[in-house]
Amino acid sequence: MTLKKLSLLTASLFILSLIVYYVDNKRGTDLVTDAELVKGLDVSAIYRVEVKVKTDQPINIVREENRFILKDHKGHPASMERLNDLIFNLANIQVREKVEDSPSDHDLKNYGLDVGGRLALVQIYGQKGEKLLGLIVGKQYKNFGNYVQKEGPKDGQNAVYLSRESIHLSSVYKDYIETRLLQIPSEDISKVEVQINGKKGAIKKDKDQEYFTNFNVVAFDDYFRPDEHDVMGLNFADEVKIFLKNKLTYRLSLARSGEQAFLKIHALLDEMPNQIEISKTDSPERLKEIEGMARAQGEAQRFNILKAPWIYRIDENTAKKILKDPKELL
């Protein structure tokens, strides 16, 4: 609906709301509507990201060789997808307007941007510890966005802005890791071998189709280093091997401690030929198969770097499905 079609009363209320909006919050006239708050951030230069939300324990994500880890949470690998989402969302914060050019301490407190009142602080550093970005997130204004301020003298007068949308940041470390250990469509599985309660055998799809769907998603709810007290002495006596059509194999080793179930997981290339030769006479189907095996080799290496060093705790329901009675499977 255009402004011309608004009733006189509606238009009056609209104008009144604008007046209240500006007077209550001492709006400046230098507006930068829809401009991006964060500009020129070189993603390739990022080596550390720290997220502080209120008084919660900070999330400290640090680059280590070709991956990022949660430094203060046992060094577990961070999810690149979640980290990319964080950086993308920061880089796409749009400004509704500039609020203050040179805010006083009193102003900062009113906007929730002072040290004791801010909702969040995000700091991004380069390889040598130089700060690439410091962003303070303050109070939300009504149904609009949040008051925000960039840190550092390079940002001019440390102006205060109002973002166009609300800014949501998490201090929950699990929000920055990938809790899915496996995500295998059942149609990609050629066979499954189990060794449960001392009984060993291969499971065929026509025997128990439902069992194969257990590996569509295998997630964990906590993780441990092998030398941690909670997992020392566990007996990983049960084993499940998942053979994929691309020759990649996943080995799941499981253990129990009371009502809790734990899992170790490795990617194997046992079914992979020692040498893969390519001939000019190879059919397109054969070349596609070779390409799939090459990808599988790379996937196995990446998977083991990220997942193999850890012991994962899985929920009881998942454990029961994987450790099904062999009498029902074999």
Q: Is residue 12 part of a domain?
A: no
10 belongs to a structural domain: no
Confidence at residue 17, expressed as pLDDT on a 0 to 100 scale: 39
Q: Based on the domain organization, do 159 and 209 belong to the same domain?
A: no
Judgement on whether residues 244 and 269 belong to the same structural domain of the protein: yes
Q: Please tell me whether residues 244 and 261 are part of one structural domain.
A: yes
Return the bridge partners of 257, or none.
Answer: 260
- The one-character DSSP state at 112 is T
Q: What is the pLDDT of residue 297?
A: 86
Q: Is the Cα torsion angle 176, 181, 186, 188 positive or negative in sign?
A: positive
Contact 151, 160 (CB under 8 A): no
Is residue 5 situated within a structural domain? no
Both 228 and 297 in one domain: the answer is yes
Residue with tokens 């401690």: 257
Same domain, 234 and 282: yes
Contact 123, 50 (CB under 8 A): yes
Note the pLDDT of residue 286.
Answer: 77
- Binned average pLDDT, 10 residues per bin, the chain of 330 residues: 33 35 40 75 94 95 94 96 95 92 92 94 96 95 92 67 95 95 90 91 75 90 96 96 91 95 93 72 79 83 94 94 82
User: For 200, how many CA atoms within 13 A lie in the half-sphere containing its CB?
Assistant: 5
Same domain (yes/no): 166, 185: no
DSSP letters spanning 4-22:
GGS-HHHHHHHHHHHHHHH
Asked, for residue 20, whether it belongs to a domain, the answer is no
Q: Which of 155, 176, 197 is the last residue of a domain?
A: 176
Residues in CB range of 302: below 8 A, 6 or more apart: none
DSSP 94: B
H or E segment and range at residue 84: helix 80-91
Distance of alpha carbon 173 from alpha carbon 301, whole angstroms? 25
Same-domain pairing of 103 and 187: no
Give the residue from 176, 191, 213 where a domain finishes: 176
In terms of domains, do 146 and 281 share one?
no
In a domain, 14, yes or no: no
Domain-embedded: residue 16: no
Q: What is the pLDDT of residue 283?
A: 83
Domain, as residue range, for 210: 180-329
Q: How many domains does the chain have?
A: 2
Q: How far apart are CA 238 and CA 224, in angstroms?
A: 19
Mark whether 94 and 186 lie in a shared domain: no
User: For residue 235, what pLDDT is reported?
Assistant: 96
3-class SS of residue 185: coil
257 shares a domain with 313: yes
Residues near 242 by beta carbon (within 8 Å), at least 6 away in sequence: 182, 184, 189, 192, 215, 249, 250, 251, 252
Asked which of 146, 176, 206 is the last residue of a domain, the reply is 176
* Whether residue 309 sits in one domain with residue 191: yes
Residue 271 pLDDT: 67
Residue 172 and residue 209 in one domain: no
